[in-house]
A and B are shown apart, each in its own frame.
Chain A
Amino acid sequence: MSNPPAVAQALLDLLLPVDARETVSGDLLEEYRDARTPALGQLRADFWYWRQVGGIWLRAYWWFIVPVVLLLVVHDIFNTFRAPSGGSYLDGLPKLALAPLSPLVGVGIFVLAGAYGGWRTQRWEGGLVAAVGTFVVVWLFMAIWWNATFYPFAQVQQSNPYWIQAWQWSTHRAHPPSLAGFNPDTPDETFLRWVFWDNVGALFFAGISMLIVSVACGSIGGALALMAMRRRPAAIHKT
């Protein structure tokens, strides 16, 4: 008998609540072997299985994605559309009003996702899957969002002193090559090209830092949920 991809099965195991783990994975396995593989072939049946696992993840944790995506979009919009002086329109606001936009909120959401995942699955690894999954979806959104908006945003940015300064600092500074021999001086770089590569770089570095944060926060959240559940065994999920 054919088997679904091992990674997908392991992920599914870390996604499902205790009382649904055996039954739901059994339902999917039965459908995969009995109907999908004979009708679609192994490759497309595997794809179907992955889609089911993704769907179950999304149904369980989509509401952690929404605030992180909103945070990202609001940041990006205020970073692009700036006052004629180059300053951010947010600069004048009181700190309390800016609190929801703090990067710490993003960190808190990853911890919450981890805690919820840990509570739901009664495993700290469940928290890890929740937080890292949130990162993956948000990162994919970032990739699409930045690529879709970079051209119209660049048109706005090219007439703002803040971004012109950033472009000139990044491409026109004259200083000796760094220790690694890399010289960032690229005086021929156009503004549009610079914005594009700036976005690609940001996507790469934001991806790495968010991955690290999501792994740490997911593990911490999952572990915290497990500790809380052990203290209050009566309040945990039904089995």
Chain B
Amino acid sequence: MADILGSFEQAVLLAVIRLDERAYGRAILNEVAARLDRDVAAGAVQSTLERLERKGLVRSTLGSGTPIRDGRARRFYAVLAKGRHELNEARTTHDTIWRGFARPLKTRS
């Protein structure tokens, strides 16, 4: 079985898909933080994006900067077909593991 994407990798990939053409570093960071409902380090998102790009799951292109960034370029990300396939695989595995359990799990008395 191929390596299953970690939950943080899934969160980042799904954030890129959700944001679509607006998927650049800061927007992805905020989207992931909002979905996970916790503060997320920029370095964590950055290193995950680098890893996903090395694995061929996303690609990136440079875009223009804005005055609030002092004109510094933005890197926009898009999920590739392989990335979507890996996400589907991760979802299938997740569903398979949970099949047969009621949600939420009952606690033992």
Contacts and interface: CB of A to CB of B under 8 A. Distances in A.
Contact of A27 (B24, B47, B50, B62): B24
A28 B69 CA distance: 8
Given A31-B29, A59-B47, A26 B42 contact: no
Given A52-B43, A59-B47, A23 B68 contact: no
Interface in B47-83: 47, 50, 62, 65-66, 68-70, 72-75
Contacts of B47: 59
Interface of B, helix, strand, loop or mixed by DSSP: helix
B15 to A, nearest CB: 14
Contact of B42 (A22, A33, A34, A56): A56
Contacts of A35: 30
Contacts of A104: none
A137 interface: no
Which of the four size classes fits the interface of chain A?
A: 20 to 34
A55 B41 contact: yes
Which of the four size classes fits the interface of chain B?
A: 20 to 34
A22 B68 contact: no
B68 A55 contact: no
Contact of B70 (A26, A31, A34, A51): A26
Contacts of A24: 25, 42, 46
A27 B43 contact: no
Contacts of B25: 23-24, 26-27
Interface string A34-46: 1100000000000
Contact of A56 (B30, B43, B68): B43
Interface string B15-50: 000000000111001100000000001111011001
A203 interface: no
Given A23-B73, A26-B74, A34 B62 contact: no
Contacts of B69: 26-27, 29-30
6 contacts: A23-B62, A26-B65, A26-B70, A31-B29, A52-B43, A56-B43
Interface of A: 1, 20, 22-31, 33-35, 51-52, 55-56, 58-59
Interface of B: 24-26, 29-30, 41-44, 46-47, 50, 62, 65-66, 68-70, 72-75
Given A26-B73, A59-B47, 20 more contacts: A20-B50, A22-B65, A22-B73, A23-B25, A23-B73, A24-B46, A26-B74, A27-B26, A28-B26, A29-B68, A29-B70, A29-B72, A30-B26, A30-B66, A30-B68, A34-B68, A52-B42, A55-B43, A56-B42, A58-B43
